[in-house]
Homo-oligomer: A and B are copies of this chain.
Amino acid sequence: MSQKVRVVQYGLGPIGQAAARVLLEKQKTGLVELVGAIDIDPKKAGKDLAELLNLETATGIEISSDAKKVLRESNADVAVHTTSSFLDRVQEQLLLCAKAGVHVVSSTEELAYPFVRHPERATALDMVARQHGVVFVGTGVNPGFAMDTLVLTATGVCTDVTRIQATRVVDAGLRRGPLQRKVGAGITPEAFAEKKATGTFGHIGLRESLLLVAEGLDWTLDRIEETLDPMLANRDIATPHAEVTTGQVAGIHHAITGFRHDHPLITLDLKMYVGAEDPHDAVRIDGTPPIDLVVQGGIFGDTATIAALVNTVPLILKTEPGLRTIKDLRIPRAFATSPMLHAH
């Protein structure tokens, strides 16, 4: 790659800040340049990005709440977009990007596979993206990698596949505070039941990963079963962000299975809780040959999500315009790393 990719960071919450930090670090390779930063928070707007990120040297990038202006004036190629999990909340933001001719790599979980949950929005977004010659893609560690890209990749060396099981066990105690709250760490089982009843609790993106795997294999599912249960603490656990006493909720156990004719074909099983023992990612393929893949210790989510977003930046420049998924991307790879900066 010889041309420098111009990137705007769209959204400066914890994930967006971390992405901006990584993009600034990667500038040293000469392969990428951060050219704008957008956030609607009036407390952030107007500041140099360095102030928000606690960097010593000013970046020259002023955080702006005027997305349209930044997208138009920065001459950006790609926006790394990290504002919300839900498609209805980001649709207007994506349209702004398209109209400015800016590709979007987004952490919006529902964007990873929006065609079933939001068919009309998906069609509209696809049309706009094509019209303006840009790509929209949703990715991250999960959805985006652990339970879809890695699963499909594992099937790539199988002549036949009859059943897929992916498990991910995350020690939420090692993750950032918002994630611990997201999984209900420290609440009572009763409070968990109430949250669950709202229908917006649990991991967002599990169904999206399931649908990505099914479509990637040309498999038709005729039934999907989803369960969401609390993981209860069997001991008192304290983390920098939460305290969980025995019997309280430590996190979630969220699982989904896709069936055809009552045969379970794909199961994704996710446990995210503080104090998890043996965190790991596993993909088990029953097939020819069978595959038993384990990422020991697990893929550390906070960093991996940022990596998945940033590493997708050069890949979407090679992807056909439209609303795309990880299935349409070239094989993943780290982007703009500089091993020699660290090898002394």
- Chain A residues engaging chain B, CB cutoff 8 angstroms: 1, 22, 25, 29, 31, 141, 145, 149-150, 152-153, 155-163, 216-219, 260-261, 263, 265, 287-297, 299-300, 303-304, 306-308, 310-311, 326-340, 342-343
A162 touches B342 (CB 8 A): yes
Q: Contacts A160-B342, A329-B331; is A1 near B296 (CB within 8 Å)?
A: no
Q: Secondary structure at chain A's binding surface: helix, strand, loop or mixed?
A: mixed
Which of B31, B149, B306, B339 makes the CB contact (< 8 A) with A331?
A: B149
User: Which one of B265, B290, B296, B331 contacts A327 once the chains associate, using CB atoms below 8 Å?
Assistant: B331
Given contacts A149-B153, A157-B299, A291-B295, whether A330 and B330 have CB atoms under 8 Å apart is: yes
The chain B residue sitting closest to A260, CB to CB, is B340
Tell me if A331 and B159 are in contact (CB < 8 A): no
Write the nearest CB–CB distance from A329 to chain B, whole angstroms. Answer: 6
**A303-B288, A331-B331 are contacts. A295–B293 as well, Cβ < 8 Å?**
yes
Given A31-B218, A265-B339, residue A334 in contact with residue B294 (CB < 8 A): no
A335 partner residues in chain B, CB cutoff 8 A: 218
CA distance A296 to B292 in the complex (A): 5
Chain B contacts of A145 at CB under 8 A? 156-157
Question: Can you list 24 A-B contacts with CB-CB less than 8 angstroms, sorted by A residue number?
Answer: A22-B159, A145-B156, A152-B333, A155-B337, A157-B304, A158-B304, A159-B303, A159-B307, A159-B337, A160-B334, A160-B338, A217-B334, A219-B337, A260-B340, A265-B339, A288-B303, A288-B307, A289-B299, A289-B303, A291-B299, A292-B295, A330-B330, A330-B331, A331-B331
A216 — nearest CB in chain B belongs to which residue?
B333
Measured in the bound complex, the distance between the Cα atoms of B263 and A307 in whole Å is: 24
**Pick the contact of A159 from B217, B292, B306 — CB < 8 Å?**
B306
Q: Are A332 and B152 in contact (CB under 8 A)?
A: yes
**Which chain B residues lie closer than 8 Å to A217 at the CB level?**
333-334, 337
Shortest CB distance A294–B (Å): 5
- Judge whether A158 and B337 touch: CB under 8 Å: yes
B contact residues around A332 at 8 Å (CB): 152-153, 155-157, 331
The CA-CA distance from A217 to B332 in the complex, in Å, is 10
B contact residues around A336 at 8 Å (CB)? 218
Across the interface, do B260 and A339 meet the contact criterion of CB distance under 8 Å?
Answer: yes
B159 & A310 in contact (Cβ 8 Å cutoff): yes
> Cα distance A293–B161 when bound, in Å?
21
Inter-subunit contact A331/B337 (CB<8 Å): no
Determine if B297 and A292 form an interchain contact, defined as CB atoms under 8 angstroms apart. Answer: yes
What residues of B have a CB within 8 angstroms of the CB of A339 in the complex? 161-163, 219, 260, 263, 265
Question: Which residues from chain B contact A300 at a C-beta distance below 8 Å?
Answer: 289
Please, how many angstroms separate the alpha-carbon atoms of A330 and B331 in the complex?
A: 6
What residues of chain B lie closer than 8 Å to A219, measured between beta carbons? Answer: 337, 339
* Residues of the B chain whose Cβ atoms lie less than 8 Å from the Cβ of A327: 330-331, 333
Q: Across the two chains, which residue of chain B brings its CB closest to A157? A: B304
| Bound complex: CA A157 to CA B25 (Å) | 16
CB pair B218–A311 under 8 Å, yes or no, is no
